[in-house]
Amino acid sequence: WASAVIRPSGWLEILCVSSRARHELELSRHIAAAKPGHPGLEYVRLVQDSFEILGPSGPHLCLVYKPMREPLWLLQRRMPGGVFPMKLLGFVLKFLLTGLSYLHNECNVIHTDLKPENVLVGLEKTLSLEDVVADEINSPSPRKILPDRTIYLSRNDFGRPKLSPGRPKIADFDAAVRVTGSQKTFTHPIQPNCYRAPEAILGAPWSYPVDIWNLGTMLWDLVEGRALFDGADSTHRGEYTSHAHLAQLIGLLGPPPKELLARGNQTGIHFAADGEFLALCSVPYRTLADTVTKIDGEEKEQFLHFVNRMLQWLPERRATAQELLDDPWMRSLPI
């Protein structure tokens, strides 16, 4: 649950969360201390404070954050046609890449769970939290009263921004990992299904480039209003399978390099010894250009060049966050 309190410095949001909160709290402290003053720190949502309360199951850790407007997916729903205009996309992407560059280069942190739900948009200057509180007092939200507590319905529908929304921040670090001197790569399962990087699907060692792939695929949600890959398997009642996901990757990017296949502990499930795909489902062939319908002309060509630098089979061939910030398409956007 969440609630808002007032301190002399302004508003704060309090979240009571699961045991994974301790990991987020420790990581947040590390991120905040890595390089204070770095511009990317502003685009990462950090824990401001913490405390414990006694709940039915024992002590419960509560994390305190500065309040944000809403997640990126909700802002997207407010856009005409449910897609981001290029100006707003550039605004969001520039700050996400700046934050991601800080996490990778200064904090040695891999997020592993980038998705529209985990990018929060800041409050615009014209939105007053005092007005929101007054509305709640005058017209209380629905609630359910139980013997030991009251459950409140969140009041978070601020409507479409009257001006540009506040700057976005990367949030939710409970699945993030920290790269140390003793461990440079990882192999445990990560990422939401449709955003999973090839190395994560194949059970190969992964590192910072999984975030680049993750962000690249997320752009289709924002630009097209749909996932680039959904992994829907017609042989499994349309449910997600990693095999169908790989089939979609092959249909778009061509067959994976054998050097990548050699790294994966799950490769044998999907590929023969010679690297041939075990096509248990059909391979839907298409081009990257076919998947982009909301942009055209030179702008489309620049966008395709940009995302092609992110969507590479081999993680070492993907551009870094800093390199993407310097891309001609990024520099051309009216931010």
Q: What is the C-alpha to C-alpha distance for residues 96 and 103, in angstroms, rounded to an integer?
A: 10
Q: Which two tokens stand for residue 107?
A: 């904090």
Q: What is the C-alpha to C-alpha distance for residues 241 and 199, in angstroms, rounded to an integer?
A: 15
The DSSP code for 41 is G
Residue 154 near residue 71 (C-beta atoms within 8 A): no
**In the annotation, is 296 catalytic?**
no
Catalytic residue among 113, 172, 221, 327: 113
Extended beta strands in the chain, E state: 2-7, 10-16, 49-55, 58-65, 70-71, 109-110, 119-121, 143-145, 150-152, 168-170, 177-178, 232-233, 239-240
Distances (CA, A) of 6 to 16, 49, 66, 226: 17, 14, 11, 39
**Residue 5: Cβ within 10 Å count:** 9
The DSSP code for 169 is E
Residue 136 near residue 155 (C-beta atoms within 8 A): yes
Q: What is the C-alpha to C-alpha distance for residues 277 and 251, in angstroms, rounded to an integer?
A: 11
* Active-site amino acid positions: 113
